Amino acid sequence: SLLYLDLYSLVLAALQGSRHYASFEIMQKSAKIQELVADDRLAGGLVAWGKTGTFDQSEIVDILAAKMMQQPHQALAGLEILRYLQMQRALVLDKPTATRILAMYLQLFYWLPHTAFINGQLVKQIGIQADAVVRVEADRILAAQQRARQFDPAPPLVHQAPLTAGDQLLFDKMIHLSQSMGVF
């Protein structure tokens, strides 16, 4: 729904530090979502967080994982909300949860290679708590993004990123393709 996109824009601005009353706005938008969809657990959890100051994450990550295929915009909004809640110290992520969250961001990145899904701030915040395998994957994408920024994007066929052997080849191709498409 469009309310989740509104919620995403609020959370994104809050993560960048440009919203002073973000917690209140997030709770207010979540209440609207809960009015429309009474069984929306994420919205219900956010409303409860606004009232109590604590957030119950027990089922939320499972719900977001289920939404990844059919409602990725809601899953992304939920993932960003979890990051915001962690920044506000309303949520403490354990290693398995942080690993699942970072893996979902990677899944979104593989769907559409964009810095909104994997970036330095996100990997620094979530990756430090995640399993090494997932963190290394995210770090490889960050390195490929950094290499891609060093090249002039126009025209894309003149300055191609040097391709390396093995798994890095796939990342370089994805980054180069997304750069030539104007994604970042």
Lowest mean pLDDT across 1-10, 122-131, 150-159:
150-159
Higher pLDDT, 45 or 137: 137
The pTM of this model reads 0.78
Tell me how far apart the terminal alpha carbons of the chain are, to the nearest angstrom: 26
Mean pLDDT of 33-60: 86
CA 12 to centroid of chain Cα atoms: 10
CB 66 within 8 A of CB 98: no
Tell me which residue has tokens 């309303």: 90
Lowest mean pLDDT across 30-34, 47-51, 100-104, 117-121:
47-51
Given its phi and psi angles, is residue 111 left (phi above 0), alpha (psi -120 to 50 degrees) or beta?
alpha
Tell me which residue has tokens 């973000």: 22
Tell me which residue has tokens 């977001």: 64
User: Given a cut of 80, is residue 80 above it in pLDDT?
Assistant: yes
pLDDT score for 153: 54
User: Given a cut of 80, is residue 64 above it in pLDDT?
Assistant: yes
Range 87-91, long-range pairs (CB < 8 A, 24+ positions): 87/15, 87/125, 88/23, 90/49, 90/53, 90/54, 90/55, 91/55, 91/57
Residue 73: how many other CB atoms lie within 10 Å: 14
Average pLDDT, the chain: 84
